[in-house]
Structure 1
Amino acid sequence: MGLKALAFLLCLTAPVAAEPLRLATYDPGLTRDGPGLLLRDIRQRESRVMAAAQVIAAAKPDVILLTGFDWDYGGKALAEFAQLLTDEGQDMPFRFAARPNRGMPTGLDLDGDGRLGEADDAQGWGHFTGQNGMAILSRLPLVAVTDHSDLLWRDLPGNIMPDTDAGIAAIQRLSSTAHWDVTVTSRQGPLHLLAWSATTPAFDGPEDRNGRRNHDEAAFWLTHLPQAPFALIGKINLDPHDGEGRRDILPRLMAHVQDPAPRGMWQPAQTGANASHRGDPALDTAVHDAQGPGNLRVDYVLPSRDLTVIDSGILWPAPDHPLADAVETASNHRLVWVDLELQPSKEAMADQARSRSPEVTQ
């Protein structure tokens, strides 16, 4: 057999080179007190905006879910932030953001205080439509989206919704922000991102409305897991060991995924509330008042069991690190990343063989 023919045969049988896919979730704190203010700050290169961009660029994700980003009708803020990332050397041309439940008016007095139109009366807490929404930026094409954000809370099977006025129950959505199933495509095949940003399981009364909603926002995925590779990703707002919340939902979710247990590069001194925490501080992803809940693990990337985890981490550098100021300035949350390897599809292998064959048959 000639060398050219042998080379052609080898290229047909060689597997596709597996390039790790880096997923990240991050609450960059890019939410403001009124509509249009985030766009203004992006255009003015405000310090917190620039810090968030530097953090994301340093992490170099292939796909990132932003869980604290104001939505606007034209998507202008997201488009200009994506351009800012490109200027920082992180080109992410594909993006998705849909109107979240945050700040969406209901016309009802949801909190029963006798006043309408307040942040607590929206589908999800917010002073204006889109405040503190979600967005996805990607280096790879986003080929399909299923938006579950309009599901009523009462319609979730097995929900633990508290006793609620019938008129409110008839319009109250489950998602405090959103629930998205977004398909990312790569040469290794498709991957479903099951994304959400849950309400904080606190700041309510003895009925534990927020705690129950937080629980059910996670429980939603138990009946919506695809038969294809996926990753649960987002701000679950629930620590496995510390802080408030109905933690029993976490083991039920974990039974369907693998936990890479990403660790921070550095941890602050464990004082105040942190001193009595039971969880490993290296896993914390959010900085909170040491006299209050303390630091917690609330941001997650949880791949399905058919994926290979190569590496993971939390972008939390030591104070003397060059990136430390940007991390501290941007947000009280830390960026979480996981590197994955997908099994190459037959179509991807065939595409690679076809793309190589002209080079080896000349």
Structure 2
Amino acid sequence: MLLLATSILGACSSDVTTTHNQTIRVATFNVSMDASNYAQKGQPLDPEALKARLALGNHPQITNIAEIIQRVRPDVILLNEFDYIENLNDGIRAFIENYLLRPIQGQKPIHYPYFYVAPVNTGEPSPLDIDGDGAASGTGGDAWGYGNYPGQYGMVVLSRYPIQMSEVRSFKHFLWHKMPNAQKIQNPDGTAFYDEATWQRLRLSSKSHWDLPIDVDGKRFHLLAAHPTPPVFDGDEDRNGARNYDEIRLWADYLSEARGEYLVDDNGKQGGLAADSRFVIVGDYNASPDEGDSRAGAIEQLLAHPLVNAKPIPTSRGGKLHTPDNPNGAKHTAGWRIQADYVLPSKFGIDLIANGVFWPAADSKLHRLVRGRGASSDHRLVWADLKLN
């Protein structure tokens, strides 16, 4: 879905490395803009919670999110956990017009003429007993992707550059069993957790996987956006660990046209990414090479992929000081002490100029923006400056 406008992006804020000439800044940010961040303790979630706060134009948490974006000023950004709102005027347009286009704390407004938003699997009712509790409840653990209402934990992409909408590919409906050698989901006694009828209908993507071709002054790259499920909140069968691993694997296979031959997108197009394609993988992947609960080698499928440039690793002083006794602290991208969020460009056609994590330390005047999930999010914005060759 597309919004056309003529606004010009302002200069980069001085608190983040200035974008080099002829480069673009690409970012990912899990913004925690779902109803659970707005609910009163003990009260049910309101699926309209984000819509109501976007209309206000002055909600503190959303204002802080917008200020962070204005300070970092990415040219292209994926927002994870931005609830899906079908009416664009109530959803992403309201965020742009009521927050991003309003100067916050002396920052220049920032406008994105183009965006992409689409339904996701989270909270979409299924007829299956996906969580294995003996009842098919439709939502929660039995939704196609865990969620308490349709569209919870959705995704949005904002861009200064045109998104080639006719060539967008999504894999929301891709069936898990269609992936060769999919991760096994077994009970402790070695039996299959799912019966065959259920397994044949399960979708792989917990939200969706999007390939958005973006044109930057005649040079194209593919933004590969996703948000795999956390590898926890399950039982001994580790079904979420298996799903997290294979959601990450989907992109690892997709990077090769031949290796991804089994993949069929939501429009029926088969195969992976064409050879010699520029791409940037973005998102909250809920997996770290160093710590956490993901299956061994999960994120390494991307970090060690021969077509992916995963070095240098983005870091922050704030992350380092947040966990001073942990040698991995500087690499963390989440307040719960893990590297979970990634901006990974292709080796082909892209030079990685600089990258980082927006995490002001406790002694910074900007620490107010990242004090906790209520202030903005339990994740930090990760950015990379990229030159397209």
Q: Answer yes or no: same fold by TM over 0.5.
A: yes
Structure 2 residue corresponding to 1:79, chosen from 83, 93, 106? 93
Percent identical: 35
- Determine if the alignment matches structure 1 residue 282 to structure 2 residue 285: no
What is the deviation of 1:113? 1.9
Verify the 8 A CA contact 1:153 1:161 in the aligned structure 2.
Answer: no
Kindly state the Cα deviation for residue 178 of structure 1 after the two structures are TM-superposed.
0.8
Aligned partner of 2:313 in structure 1 is 261
The structure showing larger relative contact order (alpha-carbon pairs under 8 Å, at least 6 residues apart) is: 1
Corresponding residue number in structure 2 for 1:42: 54
Measure how far apart 1:167 and its partner are.
2.5
- The correspondence for 1:130, drawn from 136, 151, 157, is 151
Q: CA deviation at 1:148?
A: 1.1
Q: Name the amino acid aligned to 1:245.
A: S
1:24–1:64: 8 Å Cα contact kept in structure 2?
A: yes
**CA deviation string 1:63-113 (max 9, x = no partner):** 000111000222331111122212231111211111001101002222122
Contact 2:82 2:153 in 1 (8 A): yes
* Structure 2: runs of 5+ lacking an equivalent: 1-19, 36-44, 104-108, 186-191, 256-272
Q: Cα RMSD between the aligned structures?
A: 1.7
Which residue matches 1:198? 228
Alignment of 1:90 onto 2:93: no
2-structure distance, mates of 1:72, 1:125: 17
Within 5 A, what are the aligned runs for 1:135-150?
A: 135-143=156-164, 144-150=167-173
* Most deviating of 87-96 and 162-171: 162-171
Question: Corresponding residue for 1:229?
Answer: 278
- Residues 34 and 127, structure 1, Cα contact 8 Å, conserved in 2: no
Using the TM superposition, name which of 258-267 and 304-313 deviates more: 258-267
User: How do residues 148-187 of structure 1 correspond to structure 2 at under 5 angstroms?
Assistant: 148-162=171-185, 163=192, 164-187=194-217
Match of 1:208 in 2: 238
One-letter amino acid of the counterpart of residue 251, structure 2:
W
Is the contact between residue 315 and residue 356 of structure 2 (CA under 8 Å) also seen in structure 1? yes
Q: Give the residue type in structure 2 aligned to 1:258.
A: N
Q: TM-score, normalised by structure 2?
A: 0.78
CA distance in 1: counterparts of 2:250 and 2:24, whole angstroms? 26
Q: Which has the larger radius of gyration?
A: 1
- The letter for the 2-side match of 1:149 is K
Show the 5 A alignment for 1:307-318: 307-318=350-361
SS of structure 2 residue aligned to 1:175: coil
Mapping 1:269-308, distance limit 5 Å? 269=321, 275=325, 277=326, 280-288=328-336, 295-306=337-348, 307-308=350-351
Partner of 1:353: none
Q: 1:57 aligns with which of 70, 93, 99?
A: 70
Please, what TM-score do these two structures have when normalized by structure 1? 0.84
Q: Give the secondary-structure state (helix, strand or coil) at the position aligned to 1:120.
A: coil
Q: How many residues align?
A: 317
Structure whose residues are more often helix by fraction: 1
Letter in 2 for 1:314: V
Query: CA offset at residue 270 of structure 1?
Result: 5.9
**What CA deviation, in whole Å up to 9, does each residue of 1:297-349 have, x standing for no partner?**
00000100021011101000122333221232101100000000001xxxxxx
CA 1:161/1:95 → structure 2, altered by over 3 Å: closer, same or farther? farther
Hey, what's the Cα distance between the residues in 1 that align with 2:284 and 2:246? 14
Residues 56 and 129 (structure 1 numbering): CA distance in 2 closer, same or farther, change over 3 Å? same
